[in-house]
Chain A
Amino acid sequence: MMVAMPTDVLLSTDKLTLRAGGTSLLEQLDWQVHAGEFWCVLGKNGIGKSTLLHAIAGLLPPAGGCVHSPEGDIAQATPRQLARWRGLQAQQQVDAFSCSVLDCVMAGLHPYRTGWGWPSAADREAALHALARLGMEEHADADVMRLSGGERQRIEMATLLLQAPQLYLLDEPASHQDVAAQQRVMHILRALADERHAVVASMHDINLAARFATHVLLIAEKRVWQGTVADMLRPEILKAVYGCDFDIVESAAGRWLMPASPPAQADRYLT
């Protein structure tokens, strides 16, 4: 019997080693992301979640090892080839110039454009559709510099939806969002994964990850855990990652992981 080629591997890392400044962040990470998977990257602040996303996106050359897209090592790919394979939503957006939200979102079409890129009616339609998915269609004519942080982040996500890569990378997509918007954002990411794309998002909210993701990558100082949500989101692993205890709260809506603050520390801040 012929062995089927694993054509649905959208991202694989081969002994990927990352450093920032002098400190080592990740050592020899072997990791594969398949179509249809939604990975959440969890870990403490400064542990290397953003650095990992930047390295996968090709913005940052790794200290060792390599990152593969289905076409091969990304170090050999042109920026335009990469732009059709992956998109990254950065943690923060800093605007220097005014720009209308609609024009801003249509930048996502750049990897597919040849020539001067005057938008067609269909482009506008697509941008409006992406904005509507994020509940931002009323802001289409607004100036991006006048939006709130959460709204600005959703504009960035609409841009990413228009870019429509195979692999969606998002750096804390839920961090600036209100509770309802968090649900909306996570629903969209899960839908993208269900449409045979792959999603990798760094997160701080374990329960959001537990509800929407299929897999998690947990980064601690000495080691990394990777696997399905059910296997990995367990109190003992989480304690090793975050250094605090977790209680499991069962509810009708499902299982909640609740961080337990050590009483001594809580007292210190209360009195």
Chain B
Amino acid sequence: MRRAILLLSFLALLAGLALVLSGLCGSTGCLSLNGDPDNIAMLLQLRVPRALTAFTVGALLAMAGALMQVLLRNPLAEPYVLGVSGGSAAGALLAMLLAASISVPRQNIAAVGAALGASLAVMLLFGLVGKSLRRLPLSAMAAGHRLLLTGVMLAAGFGAVITLVLTLAADAQLRGMVFWLMGDLEDSRFLPIAALIALLVLLWSMWNAPRLNLLARGESFAQLLGVPVVRLRVATLCAASLATAAAVTMAGTIGFVGLVVPHGLRLLIGNDQRVLLPAAALAGGGGLALADLAARTIVAPTQLPVGVITALIGVPLFLWLLGRSRA
């Protein structure tokens, strides 16, 4: 327990530093807090909201990934694997396509489309696998397969819709759509709602962490030791989907954070969900805030898509962690 508190305090400190750094610095250099009203306005209106958005999205994605890995009992699962992100991307692009014909502002309509698409994907998923979620799998091997395969198929279907929309879109729209798909953290209007969702998901997962620990060991195993598995699995799927949908609606599909952060942390600090879930929120948030800072400053004034940075840092880091682990 002492180790857990030390570890989480250390991570919280790092995440706080990342947040401060990313809030103060940007494409025009770092600001000093000298009371200059221009500086303060820039901080409060641009950089701080952006840093907070990055932090929230990173925390949501990392928590969703950690929960999905427990739910599917598969260390390679990630928030996008069940098609929630595909659904919201398809929804957002469809909304953009429609918006062009009836001339509504693009930003608003994309977010609405993304939220609708995500909820459609979740409803489809529950409709298709609800029955097998309500039953306790007796063979530990086959447990998550049905859910996983259904999700992968849904994601493939939404992928086709995305391709179709990109084909149909006018050239003028195409750039905006591609950038939405790569993910951007400019829009912070949904920050309060997303932050609330992140907080709720974090509280829920911390409360259920001892039970999630048993679920990670096997559905029947957890049930035998007194965990109401059927209820816990449905709730876990809901929490992970909600977190993913909130992240994607706010910032598009930023890849890699949801896979690399929880998996990498697991290799470093072990698979105790009581520590792993809050650690994932802190590391995911701090990590994405830093990645976004890098995206804004490396080739300033041009801003790189943050997804490029997460992949460029994530791939070698992950491979290195995998190489040094014993398993």
Contacts and interface: CB of A to CB of B under 8 A. Distances in A.
Contact of B216 (A96, A100, A110, A163): A96
A34 B327 CA distance: 45
A137 interface: no
B129 interface: no
A96 B215 CA distance: 11
Interface residues of A, number: 37
Nearest to A163: B225
A97 B273 CA distance: 12
Interface string A76-105: 001111111001101011111111100110
A88 B75 CA distance: 26
B220 A96 contact: no
Nearest to B231: A79
Given A95-B217, A116-B209, A111 B138 contact: no
Contact of B224 (A59, A104, A145, A146): A59
Interface string B215-235: 011101101111111000000
Contacts of B218: 93-94
Interface string B169-181: 0000000000000
A99 B217 contact: yes
Contacts of A87: 224
A107 B214 contact: yes
A107 B138 contact: no
Interface residues of B, number: 31
Interface of B: 1, 73-75, 136, 138, 140-141, 209-210, 213-214, 216-218, 220-221, 223-229, 266, 270-272, 274, 326-327
B210 A116 contact: yes
A107 B270 contact: no
A98 B270 CA distance: 8
10 contacts: A59-B220, A60-B136, A79-B223, A83-B224, A90-B220, A94-B141, A94-B218, A97-B75, A107-B225, A163-B225
Nearest to B230: A79
Contacts, number: 80
Contacts of A78: 226, 228
Contacts of A104: 217
A226 to B, nearest CB: 25
A235 B118 CA distance: 65
Among A87, A93, A110, the one with the most B-chain Cβ atoms within 10 Å of its Cβ is A110
Interface of A: 54, 57, 59-60, 78-84, 87-88, 90, 92-100, 103-104, 107-108, 110-111, 113, 116-118, 143, 145-146, 163
A176 to B, nearest CB: 15
Contacts of A84: 226
B172 to A, nearest CB: 48
**CB-CB nearest 9 A-B residue pairs:** A83-B226, A80-B226, A94-B140, A96-B73, A111-B226, A118-B1, A97-B271, A117-B210, A110-B225
A113 B138 contact: no
Contacts of A98: 270-271, 327
A236 to B, nearest CB: 34
Given A95-B217, A97-B266, A118-B1, A59 B223 contact: yes
B271 A113 contact: no
B314 to A, nearest CB: 20
B256 to A, nearest CB: 21
B105 to A, nearest CB: 46
Contacts of A99: 217, 270-271
A110 B327 contact: no
A87 B272 CA distance: 23
A103 B216 contact: no
Contacts of A54: 138
Nearest to B325: A98
Nearest to A160: B224
A131 B73 CA distance: 26
Contacts of A80: 226
Nearest to A144: B217
Contacts of B326: 143
Contacts of B1: 118
B228 to A, nearest CB: 5
A80 B224 CA distance: 8
A96 B72 CA distance: 10
A98 B216 CA distance: 10
A51 B209 CA distance: 31
